């Protein structure tokens, strides 16, 4: 654990203030808690502390006081900010309509060593990391030390728009260590300097303070896609604030309005127009700085944004530092675990499609266990209730099938309340987000070929380990026709070929006939009982 050390060089800032204001600050003796000194024309001078604000002098600030400070500063830039050579202090000006300075905010800049150890592990992982917090909470301080530590082993370039990270002047402040610093002529050119840093200086890490414009957000995405680690800051309080900010929402993937079909809206139980994440987030990890010693970590920004848009409670990791500087980490509560059953499809397709073959392999591996278990449990007194989330599967048919088989299946409308998810092969092949999220949480996923009662009965029989649940292993004509029709549509929509599941000779003849009527080519492959039809273009 690193002990925090603070270097502020407060005398440099006091040296530019009028003598009576300087003496008032020294008399107040609150240097350690001092944040800013406020000088507004015609008002009393004040000092903002961490938890308070005090009046320095009862007299009003005059034009001479403001001119005294401005004369001792360097040139005030286009963003109305100036600094002191080789220091981290910042003086910001307020101008009237004629361009005259009528107010000054003198912020105390401090190099605080030992603040970054609370997120040291996240920085060392090499992921893109965004620090989010309100002004004055300590974002730049953590960013500065992150640059210093990373520069010991990587090529680090700082894009220093207002010279807050590396201080004013041509020589950077020692607090940035070996990191290189690129200054920005005007704030509106920050995005160009960001791209220039990547193209000209071969960095492994880019450090950016105060991403606040749309062009800067776009430049950040470009940098992240080039394989350079990105560490930046932005103003905000929570992830939700950032997501609702139209200028910066692209940093976490952005949002867009999507219109659902009637069936899909009915299945989700939502309105037809919903919000979805537009793109992968620029930053992998987001840290909400709540206070100087406590923060919340979103270790997977994509999952956090998706959860937020769906109205689910956010699961964040909490970290804080106690009075003895000891760091505590409270992991995010894990999603409710479902019953430990093998995830597999019911009579799924044999073609490889986004890992589907692996799912079938899992299911095949448990078939013998299913038969043996079914033999032992045909006279089970009572079955455990299982909550099922049907995604794209007809609820009324599934409910009727469960009633007819007398199994305790409960159909839920929220996937988070479910023990298993059942969907159609069409939705599984398209890798719908709901299905992917369920797999990532370890929820068993069952895949049906069609919305038929026979398929649902087989699924329920497999789920509840019933020996006589299925009406037979032979494929029905209804299932074969439905399966073939979908395969034909897939090929007509651009797929090179689709291989159907093994079928009897009679069903294969039906499948060949349907393919011929659709002006497609079909051939049979394999040996009995695994002989199957493949449909493709000429």
- In this predicted model, what pLDDT tens digit does every residue of 138-159 receive, in sequence order? 899 899 999 999 999 999 999 9
Omega of the bond prior to 529 within 30 degrees of 0, cis?
Answer: yes
The residues near 425 (Cβ < 8 Å, ≥ 6 apart) are 345, 348, 349, 447, 448, 449, 486
Whether residues 182 and 311 fall in one domain = yes
What is the domain-level CATH number for residue 81? 3.30.450.90
Residue 90 and residue 201 share a domain = no
Strand-pair category, 111-113 with 5-7? antiparallel
Confirm whether 396 is domain-assigned. Answer: yes
Q: What backbone torsions phi and psi does residue 199 show, to the nearest 5 degrees?
A: -75, -30
Closest CA to 157 of 182, 190, 120: 182
Indicate whether 326 and 209 sit together in one domain. yes
Domain boundary among 261, 295, 330: 330
Average per-residue pLDDT in the chain? 81
Residue 188 lies in a domain: yes
Domain-ending residue, one of 110, 135, 154: 110
- Answer yes or no: do 94 and 132 share one domain: no
Q: Answer yes or no: is 35 within a domain.
A: yes
CATH of the domain at 431: 3.30.1370.50
Same-domain check for residues 38 and 103? yes
Position 343 in a domain: no
- DSSP for 458-471 reads HHHHHHTT-TT-SS
**CB of 493 closer than 8 Å to CB of 401:** no
CATH number at 229 reads 3.40.50.300
Burial 69-86 (b: 16+ CB within 10 A, else e): beeebeebbeebbbbbeb
**Within 72-207, where are the H helices?**
120-124, 139-150, 190-201
**Are 24 and 167 found together in one domain?**
no
Nearest-10 crossing angle of helices 453-463, 477-492: 100
**Residues of the chain predicted below pLDDT 50:** 1, 335-381, 467-474
Residue 470 covered by a domain: yes
**Are 423 and 513 found together in one domain?**
yes
Q: What is the pTM of this model?
A: 0.57
Residue 376 shares a structural domain with residue 412: yes
pLDDT of res. 472: 39
149 and 92 in a common domain = no
Whether residue 150 lies inside any domain: the answer is: yes
Domain hosting 190: range is: 114-330
For residue 444, is it within any domain?
yes
How far is 59 from 345, CA to CA, in rounded Å? 80
The Cα 492–Cα 477 span in angstroms is 22
Q: Which of 66, 89, 110 is the last residue of a domain?
A: 110
Specify the number of domains making up the chain.
3
Domain membership of residue 335 (yes or no) is: no
Phi, psi of 394 (to 5 degrees): -60, 115
Residue 104 shares a structural domain with residue 179? no
Together in a domain, 69 and 118:
no
The answer on 136 and 69 residing in a single domain is no
For the record, the structure tokens of 326 come out as: 């000891």
Q: Please tell me the distance from the alpha carbon of residue 508 to that of residue 502, in angstroms, as a whole number.
A: 9
């Amino acid at each position: 654990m690193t002990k925090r050390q603070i270097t502020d060089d407060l005398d440099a800032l006091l040296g530019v203030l009028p003598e009576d204001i300087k003496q008032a600050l020294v008399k107040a003796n609150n240097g350690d808690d001092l944040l800013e000194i406020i000088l507004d024309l015609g008002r009393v001078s004040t000092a903002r502390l961490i938890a308070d604000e005090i009046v320095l002098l009862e007299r009003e600030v005059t034009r001479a006081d403001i001119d005294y400070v401005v004369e001792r500063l360097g040139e005030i830039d286009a963003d109305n900010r100036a600094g002191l050579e080789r220091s981290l202090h910042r003086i910001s000006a307020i101008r009237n309509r004629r361009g005259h300075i009528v107010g000054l905010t003198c912020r105390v800049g401090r190099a605080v060593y030992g603040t970054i150890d609370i997120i040291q592990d996240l920085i060392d992982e090499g992921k893109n990391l965004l620090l989010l917090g309100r002004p004055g909470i300590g974002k730049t301080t953590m960013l500065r030390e992150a640059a210093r530590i990373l520069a010991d082993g990587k090529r680090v370039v700082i894009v220093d728009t207002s010279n807050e990270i590396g201080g004013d002047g041509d020589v950077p402040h020692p607090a940035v260590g070996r990191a290189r610093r690129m200054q920005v002529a005007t704030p509106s050119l920050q995005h160009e300097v960001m791209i220039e840093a990547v193209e000209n200086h071969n960095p492994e890490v880019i450090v950016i303070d105060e991403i606040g414009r749309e062009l800067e957000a776009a430049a950040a995405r470009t940098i992240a896609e080039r394989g350079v680690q990105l560490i930046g800051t932005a103003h905000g309080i929570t992830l939700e604030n950032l997501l609702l900010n139209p200028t910066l929402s692209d940093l976490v993937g952005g949002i867009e309005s999507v219109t659902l079909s009637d069936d899909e809206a009915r299945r989700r139980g939502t309105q037809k127009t919903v919000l979805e994440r537009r793109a992968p987030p620029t930053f992998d990890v987001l840290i909400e700085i709540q206070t100087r010693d406590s923060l919340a970590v979103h270790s997977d920004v994509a999952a956090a944004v998706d959860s937020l848009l769906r109205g689910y409670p956010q699961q964040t990791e909490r970290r804080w530092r106690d009075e003895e500087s000891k760091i505590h980490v409270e992991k995010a509560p894990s999603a409710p675990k479902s019953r430990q059953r093998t995830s597999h499809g019911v009579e799924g397709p044999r073609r490889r499609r986004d890992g589907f073959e692996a799912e079938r392999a899992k299911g095949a591996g448990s078939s013998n266990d299913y038969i043996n278990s079914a033999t032992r449990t045909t006279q089970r007194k009572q079955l455990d209730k299982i909550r099922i989330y049907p995604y794209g599967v007809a609820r009324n048919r599934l409910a009727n099938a469960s009633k007819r088989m007398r199994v305790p299946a409960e159909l839920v409308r929220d996937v988070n309340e479910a023990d298993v998810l059942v969907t159609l092969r069409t939705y599984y092949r398209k890798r719908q987000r709901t299905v992917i999220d369920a797999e990532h949480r370890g929820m068993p996923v069952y895949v049906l070929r069609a919305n038929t009662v026979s398929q649902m009965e087989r699924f329920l029989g497999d789920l509840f380990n019933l020996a006589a649940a299925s009406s037979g292993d032979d494929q029905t004509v209804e299932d074969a026709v439905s399966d073939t029709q979908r395969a034909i549509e897939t090929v007509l929509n651009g797929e090179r070929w689709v291989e159907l599941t093994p079928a009897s000779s009679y069903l294969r003849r039906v499948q060949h006939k349907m393919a011929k009527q659709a002006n497609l080519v079909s051939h049979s492959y394999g040996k009995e009982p695994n002989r199957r039809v493949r449909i493709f273009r000429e």
